[in-house]
Amino acid sequence: VTGNVYLVGFMGAGKTTVGRLLAEVLRRKFVDMDELLEARLGEPIPEVFRGRGEEFFRGREAALLKKLARRQRLVVAAGGGAVERAENSTLMRRSGRIVHLAADLEVCRTRVAAQGPGLRPMWSDAESVQRLFERRQAAYDDCDLRLCADGLGPREAAREIAARLFGEDRFPVRLGQSECPVICTGEAPRALAELAGGRRVALLTDRRVGRLHLDRFQERLADPLVIIVPGGERIKTLGTAERVYRQLLAGRFNRDDLLVALGGGAVTDLGAFVAGTYKRGLDHVLVSTSLLGCVDAAVGGKAALNLGRTKNAVGCFTVPAGVVLDVAALGTLARRQIREGLVEAYKTGLIGSPSLAELIEEHWPALLAGDRPLLAKVVSLSARTKAEVVAQDFRESGRRFVLNLGHTFGHAVESWHGYRLSHGRAVALGLLVAVRLSLSRGLIEAPLAQRISVTLNRIAGRPVTPPPPEAAWEAIRQDKKIRQGRSVFVLLEGLGRPVLVEDVSPPELAAAVREVC
């Protein structure tokens, strides 16, 4: 996922236009080799060909490619002739993936004519261009993806390349006796239409997600009933649920129809709760658009609403007909929202996927900047790991508890701050404390504790003020994470090796908090 994407294709195929848009979609840097070479050589390419010859130009082109191949996560529009040297193709193959942007010769002719053929040194009489076109096709054959963009607009072509290149990850999650497909994809509307299968659909979303993403989904569904709620944590109430029930009733929705919840964790929690209770259970699909939703909230079959200030006080377990993790939607998230999701994904890595934890440790700056292929990888690894844990214990009577790493103290922090603090930052502090407790008990070595703490501080941003020890302990005693009167903490015995402990004492916790802060 960190390699470059090289766009190759004939003159006029649209490499520069599509490449620029592809970089925008993937949130990566774009490099146009011809533009860069012109800038470095100080004159237009046709002048270089005339004055210093094609060989000279090809040499400089190969040297530039060598430099670009040493970098990562670039979208590169390669010069039209770059593929003709075998060493260039080998270099591109080793350092990333090659996309052939194919176009009909007549389309290329029209475009080049419009731009002025004088700008293209290799564009001469019709017969030579035809021969060149045929010769290059053989070199283009050796690519990872071929897209004929003739019938597509440049933006559509860029989206299509992004979706095809970084593919789709599908896997089932076992929820009790049932199974639910999870689809992590850049083409969520198509995946949803497949799951809906022609059924009548009520589409629940919030204002913000509706404004940004509803169109893509409406195009794929036949006249859905759209239900819009305001958004954020305040929608997780019985009052909002009632308003949704009433709209479903007015629309004569029955158990064989489908409710789709499109949005972040608040919308999917509300949607799953309504679906689990309306007429004793309505088929539903969760389409998650936030990173926190994709890595956590949408996977696992839990739905809950808040009761006054008590979070998730009323809830149920439900089995959706499908979960779609919309990685294309992550492009409109703010950095702050990416932080929230990354903390939760890192926690999942720590309890069950060392490769996920390492991916975040290595690539946190690109992830925070919204690099889409990396985010998609984080989403699929997190969701798979959570699915494995949930499959062992759907109703949270045992193994599933390990997902609460960092949450025992994290919830105390949130509660003491009156829930005015972001969940991610509170959990990050909870994780730091859990790591410190693991270290002081000799369960993990100092280098691992140090590595995890450094990563958490980087991804979570500003540190938060911890509650005083007595207040923290009081909040922990009131939380759901109590077994037979004892507070349960999840600690680590190593990367991917969580352990439950019930004997953390108030002084031990206070010491860990002091050391962390």
User: What residues line the site for ligand NAD (CB under 6 A)?
Assistant: 206, 208-209, 212, 231-233, 236, 263-267, 269, 289-290, 292-293, 296-297, 300, 302-303, 312, 329, 332-333, 337, 340
- Collapsing DSSP to helix, strand or coil, 168 comes out as coil
- Report in angstroms the alpha-carbon separations of 365 from 27, 75, 372, 426: 12, 18, 13, 21
Q: What is the DSSP string of 190-245?
A: HHHHHHHTT--EEEEEEHHHHHHHHHHHHTTSSSPEEEEE--SGGG-SHHHHHHHH
Nearest approach in angstroms of CB 2 to ligand NAD is 23
Residue corresponding to tokens 């960092």:
406
Shortest separation between residue 313's beta carbon and ligand NAD, angstroms: 11
How many Cβ atoms sit within 10 Å of the Cβ of residue 418?
8
Beta carbon of residue 323, minimum distance to ligand NAD (angstroms, whole number): 11
Q: How far apart are alpha carbons 493 and 408 in whole angstroms? A: 17
Strand order in the sheet with 4-8: 29-32, 74-77, 4-8, 96-102, 145-148
Instruction: Please identify the residue of the shown chain whose CB is closest to the bound ligand NAD.
Output: 265
- Rounded Cα gap, residues 194 and 281, in angstroms: 21
The C-alpha atoms of residue 204 and residue 214 are separated, in whole angstroms, by: 10
CA distance 462 to 459: 9
- Taking the complex as a whole, the smallest distance from the CB of residue 281 to ligand NAD amounts, in Å, to 17
Distance of CA 255 to the CA centre of its chain: 32
Nearest residue to 34 via CA among 47, 44, 24, 20:
44
To ligand NAD, the closest distance from the beta carbon of 106 in angstroms equals: 40
Residue (129 or 204) nearer to ligand NAD, CB: 204
Contact 440, 514 (CB under 8 A): no
For 466, what's the count of Cα atoms within 13 Å in the CB-facing half-sphere?
23
The string of DSSP letters for 388-422 reads HHHHH-TTSSSGGGGGGTTHHHHHHHHHHTTT-S-
Query: For residue 222, which amino acid is it?
Result: A
Q: Nearer Cβ to ligand NAD, position 181 or 469?
A: 181
- Name the minimum Å distance from CB 495 to ligand NAD: 22
Q: How far is the CB of 466 from ligand NAD (least distance, A)?
A: 21
Indicate the burial class of 245 (C-beta count within 10 angstroms; 0-12, 13-18, 19 or more).
middle
What gap in Å lies between CA 102 and CA 8, rounded to an integer? 8
Question: Minimum distance between the CB of residue 321 and ligand NAD, rounded to whole angstroms?
Answer: 17
Shortest approach of ligand NAD to residue 224 CB, angstroms?
19
Least distance to ligand NAD, CB of residue 419, Å: 10
CA atoms of 59 and 483, how far apart (whole Å): 70
What is the closest distance, in whole angstroms, from the C-beta atom of residue 285 to ligand NAD in the complex?
A: 15
Partners of 501 in the β-ladder:
489
| Minimum distance of ligand NAD from residue 249's CB (angstroms) | 24
Nearer to ligand NAD, 237 or 453 (CB): 237
Q: Which amino acid is at 242?
A: E
Cα dist. 244→227, 322, 460 in Å?
7, 20, 34
